[in-house]
Amino acid sequence: MTKATLNHPTKEANHQYDCEHIPVRVYEDSSLACQKIGDEIIDQINQKGANKPFVLGLATGSTPIKIYQHLIQAYKEGKVSFANVHSFNLDEYFPMDPKSIHSYVEFMHKNFFDHTDMPKENIHIPDGTIAPDEIDHYCKSYEESIQSLGGIDIQLLGIGRTGHIGFNEPGSAIHSKTRRVWLDPITRKDAASSFFGEQFVPKQAITMGVDTIMKAKKVYLMAWGEGKSNIIARTVEGAISEQVPATFLQQHNDCEFVLDKASASELSREKTPWLVETCHWDSEQIKKAVIWLARHCEKSILKLSREDYENNHLQSLLVAIDYEVYQLNYQVHESLLEAFDTWNSTKKTDAKNPSTALVFSPHPDDDVISMGGTFIQLVDNGFDVHVAYQTSGNIAVYDDEVIRFMQFCLDASPDQQPIADEYQKIVTAFAKKKVGDIDSLRIQELKGLIRKGEALAACRVCGVPENKAHFMSLPFYETGAVKKKPHTKKDVDLTVKLLRKVKPKKIFAAGDLSDPHGTHRVCLQVIFDAIDELKKAGDAWLKDTQVWLYRGAWQEWGVNVIEMAVSLSPKNVLRKREAIFKHQSQKDRAMFPGPDAREFWQRAEQRNTHTANQYNLLGLPEFEAVEGFVRYNP
């Protein structure tokens, strides 16, 4: 995997395939996709003219936020005016105070409206405070306001894991209008992290109806990241169904799905391109196809026959190669084994002059969750292992954990009065705290110290001395809120300083490249920027340094892309579990569990076991568990 693959977007892929029922554009990077959509919106506004209203249908959340940033920048540069633009937002939670940090009113003003010249009277967002007996009348007037302006010119949409558009959940009819709805449990679970717990997510919302959306002249539906890949494939290639409301868009006259590579990964054009188009058979595509065929035929790779290829639409591959099927099978089989050989050569070090390894961990537990087995083996093999915890992870600590630790300090202290005073202040602050309120700096510090202590305990399990654990507290993260600041030179400078201090020969980092807005993505970009600075400065020690990317707690690299595979013994699986268990504040019930309700150790073990099983089914040795890595070439 090269740097170009990671950082530099390619031109969009917009060829239409017979299996796709909606036009699709695929970009390498969500930033370029948002720029393209933003430019198209600007062009349409400018073409409409200064005296005619232009109506935008807007969405909230992280998906469209880069579009809003692009529009704001264009406005500041004088490329567009929003003076004649009218906006109608898709939805709002109900009930919802417009001043709440969870309100879409607050979101839209903070991320778009307050930075442009759009008149306040032109802004329309569903009212989450409307009296229940007035909702029907209010929703009807919302529809009439849209119609009075000639309808929506451009509608922006995201998509939920249920296939909802707006808050039109499964079961919504194509003729549905703006109305109050009950939210699907999956939708509420996905929103839980923003509300600091699923129990605080409203159960209802006001949403534009499917019919309202379908009447828009132009619709862009956007999706970023692998988490949306399954519902995107079902929507684009599946049948129209009320159970997936987004499929109604197949009947729209001018709708485009704009995706990044990760969200498009389950589409046939990406997953099995040889089934839908003439395929360019490079080594990467050959490996992918042979692995797919083995899984499809439920055979090991070395047992695949010519008939298997011919019966499953891979004749073009046989024509493209100039050697026998068994030789093809053998070469792919050996390429999979090479990933294990890479680790066997990588894990060696000189006992008298040990090689240095630096593990970057976005949060204080990602190191052991995602590559704990490799971490342990590096130490066992004599490496000088350092670990850099890039953020404090303080917002993921429950308030009760602070009270518990303060109570311990109170009982253990010979001079109890100062601690008793602080303890009372903290208890009082928590009693007054509302959902989403930002903790005081002192409480944020205490929560960070809790996570620091857990990380050090995990390091002891792995055999890493405490002085080799570096707690960076990158400034972009330290907001006390779920939403973080963009990273700056300060974050990069701290990383450059640590790299120069440690001078690692092997760097491990969380390679969650499909996460365009989360902490992992930002932490990775900071590392890339730091490496670029070191290269420009001519740091000679960096020349022979290897950079390996692991994945987070939700996915593993596919075996077709893994470049270094690390097998875990049963003993090391248990040691990895023990290290994860040291993160007590994240155990049993994590603050931000994501869509997977299992504990992190359960996810990690299932993922590592699944990867091992994939290798076994393809005809490789049967391992207990496997962690996978891809290489980044700085």
Listed residue (593, 389, 572, 564) closest to 494, CA to CA = 389
**CB 215 within 8 Å of CB 152:** yes
The β-bridge relationship of strands 506-510 and 546-550 is parallel
Chain centroid offset of residue 197 CA: 19
User: What are phi and psi for residue 280, nearest 5 degrees?
Assistant: -90, 110
Q: Per the residue annotation, which of 28, 92, 169, 256 is the catalytic one?
A: 169
Residues 56, 88: Cα–Cα separation, whole Å: 6
Report how far residue 175's alpha carbon sits from residue 168's, in angstroms, rounded to the nearest whole number.
Answer: 11
Q: Which of 38, 21, 36, 24 has the alpha carbon at shortest distance from 72? A: 38
Handedness of CA 435, 438, 439, 440 (dihedral sign): negative
d(CA 188, CA 483): 18
CA atoms of 573 and 550, how far apart (whole Å): 17
Angle at 537 between CA 534 and CA 541, to 5 degrees: 55
Distance CA 462, CA 573 (A): 12
Burial class (CB in 10 A: 0-12, 13-18, 19+), 578: middle
Q: Which two tokens stand for residue 630?
A: 């891809």
Residue 420's identity, in one-letter code, is: A
162 neighbors 186 (Cβ within 8 angstroms): yes
For residue 342, give Cα distances in angstroms to 334, 337, 498. Answer: 12, 9, 27
Q: Could you give the C-alpha distances from 319 to 313, 324, 525, in angstroms and in order?
A: 12, 11, 42
Q: Which long-range contacts (CB under 8 A, 24 or more apart) does 170-174 make?
A: 170/242, 170/243, 170/244, 170/245, 171/242, 171/243, 172/209, 172/210, 172/242, 172/245, 173/210, 173/242, 174/210, 174/211, 174/214, 174/242, 174/248, 174/251
Report CA 498 to chain centroid distance, whole Å. 26
The percent of the chain in helix, strand and coil, each rounded to the nearest 5, is 50, 15, 40
**Listed residue (260, 178, 498, 197) closest to 361, CA to CA:** 498
Tokens 């036009």 belong to residue: 23
- What CA–CA distance (Å, rounded) separates 350 from 377? 15
Helix (H) or strand (E) holding 219, with range, is strand 218-223
Q: Provide the 10 A C-beta neighbour count for residue 525.
A: 17
Query: By the 8 A CB rule, do 382 and 347 touch?
Result: no
Closest CA to 125 of 160, 159, 166, 164: 166
Residue 169 known to be catalytic: yes
CA pair distance 357, 468, nearest whole angstrom: 11
Q: Which residues are catalytic?
A: 169
